[in-house]
Amino acid sequence: MYANSGDGPAPPKRVGNTTLVFAGNDAKYVGVATVGGEPLGIERAFATRLVEEFADDAAILQIKMGYLARVEAENLLAMVPKRPTPNGSAFAGSRACMPCHAEDYRIWQKTAHAKAMQTLVEVHHHNDPECVGCHVVGLEYEGGFVSLEKTPTLKDVGCESCHGPGRKHIEDPENNKMGKLGEAICMNCHVPAHSPNFNFETYWKKIEHGKR
């Protein structure tokens, strides 16, 4: 029997004559059981992360695509609650940072952050609010990302995804300085369920810019 358990899989558990294989959340893992012995029974049970080597199951894929179609039809992105930005500033979009931070902008353009939304488009999750928040700028804030059609300048993981809304800083940088960031800001999105191999020092080298 397969069961759900939080973000990641938990160790199998025996309940009476039944073996429970906990396969985690978000359909990122699959429970595996090997059967054999005399009398016939489960010899080994475990959960393993779904990787590309696993072929798509046609029936499951149909269920998934039906779910995604419903997410789009019900326009769930538009239902995401919006709250005021933490610094009272508005979002400006990454390109607005370029005049003063040209080298940082050039570096950003070559990173996976700058293509974050496209990765969702390719797997048809670009309308799913459970995914979109970590692939755009400010989904949960007033003036933040709404949709690819309405707010294209706020797609992808941009400058303001980490540094916060920058309109006030752009208009008056001396009196509206942007604070320094650390590993904690990365952990908002690079959680074990979505980024199991995340290591700050390793990942920072992929986007290194500005001053630490």
Report pLDDT for 6: 53
Contacts of 113 (CB under 8 A, 6+ apart): 156, 157, 158, 161, 207
Report pLDDT for 82: 98
- CA dist., res. 186 & res. 58, Å (int): 35
Reduced to 3 states, what is the DSSP secondary structure of residue 75? coil
**Domains contained in the chain, CATH given:** 2-49 (no CATH), 58-207 (1.10.1130.10)
What is 175-203 written as a DSSP string?
TSPPPP--HHHHTTT--TTT-TT--HHHH
77 DSSP 8-state letter: G
List per-residue pLDDT tens for the chain, 212 residues long.
555 555 556 677 778 878 777 777 677 777 777 887 777 677 777 778 787 788 888 998 999 999 999 999 999 999 999 999 999 999 999 999 999 999 999 999 999 999 999 999 999 999 999 999 999 999 999 999 999 999 999 999 999 999 999 999 999 999 999 988 999 999 999 998 789 899 999 999 999 998 76
Report pLDDT for 18: 80
